[in-house]
Amino acid sequence: MTTLDRALEHTGPLEPSMLLTPHSLDEALRLLAAGDAAVVAGGVGHTLRRHDRRPCPATLVSVGRLPGFDTVTWTDTEVVIGAGVRLSALEADVRLAAAWPMVTEAAGSVATARIRRMVTLGGNIAADDDSHDPPVALAAAGARLTVRDALSGRTLAIGDIGGLRRDELIQDVRLPLTAPDQGTVGSSFQKFLVRGLWEYACVNVGAVVRLDARGAVRDLSLAVGSVTGGPVPVDLAGLAEEAGEAAGGIDDRVIDEAARRAAEQTSPYGDVRGSAAYKTRMIAEFARRALTTAALRAAEGTGR
């Protein structure tokens, strides 16, 4: 985002960058290992930093067109989304929309279609911006990031993205899948556009409800964005059990309690989209809406 950061007054002029285009993931990782290099995929984040005249490494490594980097792969237990998948492709993925509607909704709510065609999922996550939409949905879904450097790989939770090193690259994002005999999952992403038009969220919330084969609640999950340290997974300990005991699925008391915890456990900041006090109220409101929709979808057994 463009910030009038007066501390930047004397950072000095930008020098032209060097752009390297590796042909394989390994080559990309070797270039990153050489130091003072940054990853560009869609190039949006880098272009905006440059516009703001923020310091940038001299070398850029282009990974947006690496082979296999923009594919979505399905197994019985998970869906693996390449980090180079554009948000527009994610938004339009019908199979993903059936399994994880929350994720396609989040991808589809970023800025405009034009921006979504440029931005990759990996880039959106690596920006480590608490207001970005996809990470909120991915956090609620319990997604794991496959991260590589030149020598090895590791797995990160969405919330640990701050630990991504300069020589590392997000390779893919993995979302768990539930076997049909294990019950159903419903999910929903809610983005509150407080002025009614496209922009960053006032609050954004992802919610997941898992029902067992009998329709009893097995698991609830909620993540909140646009808050300090976001996306923040909400601790809903005990709530799924409480809900599961109630026959006929999730009731309003459980949803209200989850919304209350979401508000209690998060620290929104005041900005042009609302004061912290207002956002706290909105976190509860949109947590309620997200959980209600997710529960409905789980009950319908279709995901959607």
Partner 1 sequence: MAVPLRFRLNHEDVEIHVHDPAATLLDLLRGDLGLTGTKSGCAIGYCGACTVIVDGEAVPACLQMVGLLEGREVRTVEDLAGPGGLDPVQDAFVTCAGMQCGFCTPGHVMAVRALLDRDPDPGEEELRRTVDGNYCRCTGYVKILDSAREAVALERARAQEVR
Partner 2 sequence: MSTAHASAGRAAAADAPQAPVAPELSLDRAVLPPVIGTAVQRVDAVEKVTGRSAFAGDVRIPRMLHGAVVRSPHAHARIVSVDTTLAERLPGVHAVVTGADTARIKWGAFRPDLYPLALDRVRYVGDEVAAVAATDPETARRAAELIRVEYEVLPAVLTLDEALAEGAPLVHDDAVGNLAHEFGYDRGGADAWFERSDVIVEGVWQTTRQWHGSIETIGCTAEWSQDRVTLWVNTQTPFLARQRYATALGLPLRAVRVVQTEVGGGFGGKSGDDNTSVICAILARKSGRPVQLVNTREEEFLAGRPRIPMRYRVRLGFTSDGLVTAKDIDLIADNGAYTGKAQAVLGAATVRHDALFNYRAVRAHSRLIYTNLVPTGAFRGFGNPSADWAVGQAWDLAAARLGIEPPDLFLLNAVEAGSVSAHNHRISSCELKQCIRRAAEAIGWYEKRAAPTPNRGLAMGVSVHVSGRRSFGDYDGSSAMVRLTEDGRAAVIVGEGEIGTGARTTLAQITAAELGLAVADVTVSRPDTDLTTHALGALASRVTYVAGNAVRRAAKHACEQLLGAASRQLGRPAAELWVEDGMVHAPPAAGEDTPVHVPVGVVVRAELYRPNGQPIVGIGSFDNPSEFPDQARFGNESGAYNFVAEAAEVEVDPATGAVTVLELAAAVDCGTVLNPPLAQGQVEGAIAQGLGMAITERFDWADGAPTRPNFVDYKLPTAGVMPTLHVEFADSYEPTGPYGAKGVGEIALDPVPSIVASAVADAVGVRIHELPITAEKIYWGIHRPEPGAPGAADDPAEFPEQGNPR
Which residues are at the interface with partner 2 (CB under 8 A)? Answer: 1-4, 6, 9-10, 12-14, 53, 192, 194-200, 202, 270-272, 274-275, 277-278, 281-282, 285
CB closer to partner 1, 16 vs 162: 16
Task: Please report how close the Cβ of residue 129 comes to partner 1 at its closest, in angstroms.
Answer: 14
Tell me the two tokens of residue 143: 């997604």
Task: Please report how close the Cβ of residue 287 comes to partner 1 at its closest, in angstroms.
Answer: 27
Report the residue from 28, 39, 60, 227 that binds partner 1 according to the rule CB under 8 A.
60
d(C-alpha 79, C-alpha 103), whole Å: 12
Residue 64 interacts with partner 1 (CB under 8 A)?
A: yes
Q: Which does 13 bind (CB under 5 to 8 A by kind): partner 1, partner 2, none?
A: partner 2
d(C-alpha 289, C-alpha 206), whole Å: 10
Q: Which residues contact 160 (CB under 8 A, 6 or more apart)?
A: none
Report the residue from 56, 177, 194, 296 that binds partner 1 according to the rule CB under 8 A.
56
Q: Which of 183, 239, 186 is nearest to 216 (CA)?
A: 183
Q: Which residues contact 29 (CB under 8 A, 6 or more apart)?
A: 148, 149, 150, 167, 169
Stretch that binds partner 1, among 59-67, 241-249, 264-272, 287-295 (CB under 8 A): 59-67
Site string (191-230) toward partner 1, x via CB under 8 A = ------xx--------------------------------
DSSP 163: G
Contact 112, 198 (CB under 8 A): yes
